[in-house]
């Protein structure tokens, strides 16, 4: 269920140290672990959306692990059982971005489980949804979501998220510059061996049985707008920055 | 005034043109002529590409999200958009088949399954900028909500038509892209100002 990237340039990295060494991926030389790199866990049941979000994140210099369900995400984080496990203390996840509407476990339920965990409650969780439902947004923010993005997600959205994650800014000479206490702390005493891994996924083989997608009645959702707009600026659409209902952001760029 | 001996030969290796000649003057004259010819061909192809792409937006096949996808493509990932839309079209085919099965028997329609399929289709069409497909999904969902089987069947047929139409259009677009690259040119990335093209559409700045 890990994702091999279409770009074939090293693809998805999984920073789980214990598993790396046990899996024999013939002939593959993993790139060295870069502790300064931001690692994002992306969760979406749609294959198309997973590919797009993965690309969006990688183009903004994040390492990405993409999974297709909340269960996979919990499994990846080691939260799928009640046993506390030491190996997951070494797992470096800087942000989790998840779709809201997913069969089985919604993004909201995943958010709650993450916030209940001692090891990952500090990790910012971003919710994505195709429906602009204020009650849904509020509920997520109240539960501790860092941000809420309206789908389809654009490059400007991810760039903005990325800039909020620059707790550790890597300078060209390799020095790390940290923001004060409210940044995500990276355990710099991690063992050095290379920890990257690429699986190819068969996303149709998810183990828990899927329940039908939740359908939310959304009386507050805005009418479908005809936004086939050509942006004149190739760099980004200024319009998405201005729209007040596209997303709500809670707090400062740092973590609470 | 090139002799047969000085006439340079040209070869394309790995997408780059290599000129061979034992005569320096011959090769420079040849090069200039070749480059001029290439530039003209490339410029024509680029204009063709640009015009075709713009027409797809004007006719409503594509929306801004397709533009966003194109931003994610670069020299290192020249097939990104083509690969994503290909997956989208696979998705369409699968979902349409399963929804068709669910709608097959009038006395036993699984509207929940159909609704789930429409939701997924709407989501992925929105993510790639497939505007017409997405719009059909909106009507489709409405038919589903009121359990209108006839309406659903009509929408199903329409969504099938739309995705196949878009697939053909984009195939033509990607072929143009390939031709540009093979001719040694770069894919145009920028658009002229949209207000000239679609004066009837205003950006949605307010809630």
pLDDT average, residue stretch B143-152: 96
Is pTM beyond 0.80? Reply is no
Q: What is the CA radius of gyration of chain B?
A: 24
pLDDT in tens, B89-107: 999 999 999 999 999 999 9
Inter-chain touch B115–A213, beta carbons under 8 Å = yes
- Residue A91: what pLDDT? 83
| Sequence-distant (≥ 6) Cβ neighbours of residue A39 within 8 angstroms | A13, A15, A62, A63, A64, A65, A92, A93, A94, A95
pLDDT in tens, B3-15: 444 455 666 666 5
Considering only CB atoms, which chain B residues are within 8 Å of A154?
Answer: 65, 68
Q: Is the ipTM of this complex over 0.85?
A: no
pLDDT average, residue stretch A85-92: 68
B114 to A45, A221, B50, B110, B137: CA distances (angstroms): 17, 21, 38, 6, 11
Q: Show which of residues 136-175 on chain B sit within 8 Å of chain A, judged by CB atoms.
A: 138
Tokens 């969504």 locate to: B159
pLDDT in tens, A123-160: 999 999 999 999 999 999 999 999 999 999 999 999 99
Q: Is the pLDDT of residue A52 over 60?
A: yes
Min Cα distance A190 → chain B (Å) is: 32
B46, B54 in Cβ contact below 8 A? no
- Give the chain A residue whose CA is nearest to the CA of B55: A230
B157 vs A196: which has the higher pLDDT: B157
CB pairs under 8 A between A and B: 124
Lowest mean pLDDT among A23-27, B47-51, B78-82: A23-27
Q: Using 50, 70 and 90 to split pLDDT, how confident is the model at A16? A: very low
- Residue A181: what pLDDT? 43
Residue in A153, A230, A239 closest to B67 by CB? A230
**Helices A47-59 + B111-128 axis angle, to 10:** 30
Share of chain B above pLDDT 90, in %: 62
Residue in A49, A212, A231 closest to B123 by CB? A49
A235 vs A49: which has the higher pLDDT: A49
Q: Does A217 touch chain B (CB under 8 A)?
A: no
Share of chain A above pLDDT 70, in %: 47
Residue in A222, A230, A245 closest to B194 by CB? A230
Q: Does B76 touch chain A (CB under 8 A)?
A: yes
């Amino acid at each position: 269920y890990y994702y091999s990237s279409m770009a074939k340039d090293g693809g998805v990295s999984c920073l789980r140290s214990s598993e790396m060494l046990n899996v024999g991926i013939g002939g593959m030389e993993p790139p060295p672990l870069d502790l300064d790199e931001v690692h994002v866990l992306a969760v979406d049941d749609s294959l198309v959306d997973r590919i797009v979000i993965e690309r969006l994140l990688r183009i903004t210099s994040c390492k990405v692990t993409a999974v297709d369900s909340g269960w996979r995400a919990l499994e990846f984080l080691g939260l799928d059982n009640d046993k506390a496990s030491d190996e997951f203390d070494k797992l470096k996840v800087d942000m989790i971005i998840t779709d809201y509407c997913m069969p089985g476990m919604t993004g909201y339920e995943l958010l709650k489980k993450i916030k209940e965990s001692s090891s990952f409650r500090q990790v910012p969780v971003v919710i994505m949804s195709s429906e602009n439902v204020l009650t849904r947004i509020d509920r997520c923010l109240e539960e501790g979501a860092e941000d809420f993005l309206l789908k389809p997600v654009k490059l400007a959205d991810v760039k903005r998220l990325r800039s909020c994650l620059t707790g550790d800014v890597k300078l060209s000479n390799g020095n790390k510059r940290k923001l004060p206490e409210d940044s995500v702390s990276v355990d710099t005493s991690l063992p050095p061996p290379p920890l990257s891994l690429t699986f190819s996924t068969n996303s149709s083989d998810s183990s828990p049985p899927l329940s039908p997608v939740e359908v939310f009645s959304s009386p507050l959702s805005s009418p479908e707008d005809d936004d086939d707009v050509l942006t004149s600026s190739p760099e980004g659409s200024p319009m998405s920055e201005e729209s007040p209902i596209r997303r709500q952001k809670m707090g400062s760029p740092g973590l609470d | 005034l090139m002799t047969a001996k000085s006439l340079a030969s040209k070869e394309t290796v790995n997408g780059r043109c290599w000129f061979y000649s034992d005569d320096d003057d011959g090769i420079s004259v040849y090069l200039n002529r070749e480059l001029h010819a290439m530039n003209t061909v490339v410029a024509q192809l680029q204009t063709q590409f640009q015009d075709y792409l713009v027409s797809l937006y004007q006719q409503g096949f594509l929306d801004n999200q397709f533009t966003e996808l194109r931003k994610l493509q670069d020299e290192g990932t020249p097939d990104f958009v083509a690969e994503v839309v290909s997956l989208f079209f696979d998705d369409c085919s699968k979902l349409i088949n399963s929804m068709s099965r669910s709608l097959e028997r009038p006395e036993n329609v699984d509207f929940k399954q159909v609704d789930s399929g429409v939701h997924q289709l709407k989501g992925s069409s929105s993510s790639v900028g497939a505007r017409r497909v997405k719009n059909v999904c909106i009507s489709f969902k409405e038919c589903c909500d009121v359990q209108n089987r006839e309406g659903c069947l009509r929408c199903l047929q329409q969504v099938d038509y739309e995705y196949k139409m878009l697939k053909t259009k984009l195939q033509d677009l990607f072929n143009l892209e390939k031709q540009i690259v093979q001719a040694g040119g770069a894919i145009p990335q920028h658009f002229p100002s949209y207000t000239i093209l679609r004066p009837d559409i205003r950006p949605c700045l307010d809630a």
